[in-house]
Structure 1
Amino acid sequence: MTTERRHDIDWLRVIAIGLLLIYHIAIIFQPWALFVGFIKSDESLEALWTPMTMLNVWRIPLLFYVSGMGVYFAMRKRNWKQLLLERTKRILLPFAFGIVAIVPLHMFIFQKYYNMPLDYYAGQAHLWFLGNIFVYVLILLPLFYYLNKLGNGKIKSVLTSLMGHPGGPLLISLFFVIEVLLVKPQLFALYAQTWHGFFNGFLAFFFGFLLVYIGKAFWQTVLKWRWLYIGLAIIMYGVRYVLFGAEAPGYLMAIESNCWIFGVFGLGYKYLNKPSKTLNYLSKAVYPVYIIHMFVLYAGAMLILPLEMPILVKFICIVAFTGLGCYLIYEFIIRRIGFLRPLFGLKWKFGKAEKQKSILEY
């Protein structure tokens, strides 16, 4: 099993969570925000919907791919019992804590903003992602350890051969096409707490593991052909936007989704696979920030939306408020208070000499 440190995968996780925050803020300025449980601005910035429709077919699947890769790296130093214990502490504990203590915070803000009776509401909300990942780990762990036990056998050899060809990664898209044809989602990008989201995430998580398991063949392919995949994605997005008003048939969106992701993997492998102090910090911060970002975002919306200022300035202010608020809460509360750390997926111990580790090792 390779011990190569993959800084690009760390970076892609950080970038994907950053895009998630901005995407969620952009929802506030869409006419349909209330229908998905978001605070809604009285004025709309519908121009944001154009880049949002490009992002929404691949941003969540990318996170599932990267999460599957994370399991592979975590398996380097752990047997199945140790890994299951680690995943329970790192995923299930923050998931359970978030449901009862974090989600109710942004629901209180929502109720206050709309002058609703304040009521305690515990639910998955944006944390559905963590619940899915833990289930995937439980289901797939036996298969993952079995594949590792086989070593460089026939299965790995066949996969390496396939992924060494530019059409190899595109074959992966066929599984996602089959998923949408069978599940028939109402909207492709409706992932949260849907069967489509579950099975799409399951496939991405499984193939994420597989792509690092087989070695460098896949990465050399996406490195060489990254502009082919991005070009295909741009063409398919253009067709989708012009002919279908952003919601094309699911099988086309499944292919487009993976083309974006393979192109992003190629770009990341070329430009991001290097260590940095910034990455060391962000790779640990990104998980707690993901957990808390919704109530910080809602607080920013509650304070900023009523102000008299141009709508674009409001959007920028909420982005800044959310980013700064998440940083302050992470840096001065979550990171420094020992008993809080495991509730947000961090290790108990904190000190000046604490070694920053890649999130892939968790």
Structure 2
Amino acid sequence: MDKTRQYWADWLRVLVILTLIIYHTSLTFSALGSTYIYREIDSSEVLLFLLLTAPLDNFFMAALFFVAGYAAFFALRKRTSGEFAHERAIRLMIPVGFATFMLIPIQVYFKYLHEGHKGSFFFFLSSYFPSGIFTYGWGHFWFLFYLYVFSMVCLPLFNHWKRTPESLLKISSFLAKRINFLIPLAFIAIADAVLRPMFMNSKYILWGDWANVVLYLSFFILGFIFSSDEQLQQKVFNWRIPAICIATCCLIVIIRLYYLDATEQYQPAWHTWLWSSLKGLYECSMIVALAGFFHTYLNKESKAIKYLSKASFSYYVWHFLPVTFMTWLVLKKDWHPYLQFLIIIIFSYAFIFLVHELIENRLLTALKRLWHR
């Protein structure tokens, strides 16, 4: 077992990424988030999709940024700041560029067809560029863009901590005392409650998206600090039981609010205030709970986590393409929404598995062997 590798963090990242297909497919039917194609359904059928949407929607991106900060600590320990910046640019910004100009237009095209438009894909592209690119941007690749910006913004701070580890130790040791680790979590929860109602309609373009910027940047930095101190980690892991209880209570209220918003014409302002107040508390509690349980039961090397860790980035990159295509295809049929949902997710998982296994693993490996002959 790699002594420096924390498999619980791998499992947390993998869990989030593998549920993206379920989450984004659910949005088609719940309409409580951003996706390409929607279907109106009866209020009696929407509850299942709310039960799938609400638990993920309110914590999973925060978890990804937390794990990214955790991983940044080990990445910077092995690299100079220049090597770290170069590696981040290659790993993050090249996929963002590829998606913006190649992948997102295809997904928007299926939305275009679903809305009744006619014409070939190439005819569509003539109208998509340049106006559409500003409307749809980088799609779900906003996470990679934000992560790159956060990495560059935090690099001077992280370098300072790398050069003077005693300064980082002072912070982590303070957080490890008593219940001091709750201080940054309380800040995150309060910041989300205050900022979220004011910045509800962000387009994930960084500037003006202050609720998400403050929230995710805080989790990113907190993940870096957390990775540096085993005593702090153990303190947090020991809170897994209270954390899951708090998260469950928050989630029950959040689902109720989601159901009211999905089934009623009028949504009072206090719904937004209550939801934003609970969201920050829920995501902090869920991350603490899952980190604790995964560390307790899954912090060991296995074939499953070895494979899924390597495959997870492919799943993240490609998942929205089959979801959008299958949604466009399946919604042509007058089938029950539960059946449509099931077909979409089965074929989407199968598509990504085949892409990863046949193209990324075997074809690219074969090409590399030919290149190095």
Fold-level similarity (TM above 0.5): yes
**Counterpart in 2 of 1:236?**
250
Residue 82 of structure 2 corresponds to residue 81 of structure 1: yes
**Deviations along 1:237-256, whole A, 9 cap, x unmatched?**
33445579575253332122
Alignment of 1:132-151 (within 5 A): 132-151=146-165
Among 149, 163, 166, which residue is 2:176 paired with? 163
- Residues in 2 aligned to 1:12 and 1:189: alpha-carbon distance in whole angstroms: 28
How far apart are residue 349 of structure 1 and its match?
Answer: 5.0
Work out the CA distance in 1 between the residues paired with 2:292 and 2:343.
33
Which blocks of at least 5 consecutive residues in structure 1 are unaligned?
Answer: 342-347, 352-362
| Aligned-partner Cα distance in 1 for 2:8–2:210 | 30
Instruction: Quote the Cα distance in structure 1 between the aligned partners of 2:355 and 2:183.
Output: 43
For residues 308 and 46 of structure 1, what CA distance do their matches in structure 2 show?
Answer: 17
Larger Rg: 2
Corresponding letter in the other structure for 1:148:
K
Distance of 1:205 and 1:15 partners within structure 2: 18
Alignment of 1:317-356 (within 5 A): 317-338=343-364, 349=368
Task: Spell out, residue by residue over 1:103-153, the C-alpha distance to the aligned partner (whole angstroms, 9 max, x if none).
Answer: 1111111112222252334421111111100000110011112112222x2
- Equivalent of residue 183 in structure 1, options 184, 195, 205: 195
Mean CA deviation greater in 313-322 or 119-128: 119-128
Cα drift, residue 275 of structure 1:
1.1
User: What corresponds to 2:139 in structure 1?
Assistant: 125
TM-score, scaled relative to structure 1: 0.84
| Letter matched to residue 146 of structure 1 | H
Name the structure 2 match of 1:25. 25
Percent sequence identity over aligned pairs: 25
* Structure 1 position 186, deviation (Å): 5.0
> What is the RMSD computed on CA atoms of the aligned residues?
2.8
Which one-letter code corresponds to 2:345 in the other structure? V
* Equivalent residue runs for 1:292-303 within 5 Å: 292-303=318-329
Structure whose residues are more often helix by fraction: 2
SS of residue in 2 equivalent to 1:168 = coil
TM-score by length of 2: 0.82
Secondary structure (helix, strand or coil) at the match of 2:299 reads: coil
Take 1:146 and 1:66, find their aligned partners in 2: how far apart are those partners?
A: 21
Q: Which residue of 2 aligns with 1:357?
A: none
Pairing of 1:1-362 with structure 2 (within 5 A):
4-31=4-31, 36-43=34-41, 45-47=45-47, 48-117=49-118, 118-119=124-125, 120=128, 121-122=132-133, 123-151=137-165, 153=166, 155-165=168-178, 167-180=179-192, 183-185=195-197, 192-193=204-205, 194-213=209-228, 215-241=229-255, 247=272, 248-338=274-364, 349=368
1:37 CA drift (Å):
4.4
How many equivalent pairs are there?
338
Contact 1:336–1:350 (8 Å) recurs in 2: no
The CA deviation at 1:318 is 0.8
User: In 2, are the aligned partners of 1:3 and 1:76 still within 8 Å (CA)?
Assistant: no
Equivalent-residue separation in structure 2 for 1:271 and 1:38 (angstroms): 37
Determine the C-alpha separation between the residues in 1 that align with 2:219 and 2:368: 33
Q: Which amino acid aligns with 1:40?
A: Y
Larger CA deviation: 116-125 vs 135-144: 116-125
Q: In 2 relative to 1, CA 65–190 (structure 1 residues): closer, same or farther, beyond 3 Å?
A: farther
Q: Which moved more, 1:43-52 or 1:223-232?
A: 43-52
| Partner Cα separation in structure 2 for residue 195 and residue 158 of structure 1 | 25
Shift of 1:190: 6.9
Shifted more, 227-236 versus 216-225: the winner is: 216-225
Structure 2 residues without counterparts, runs of 5 or longer: 119-123, 261-270
Read off the aligned partner of 1:309 and give its amino acid letter. Answer: W
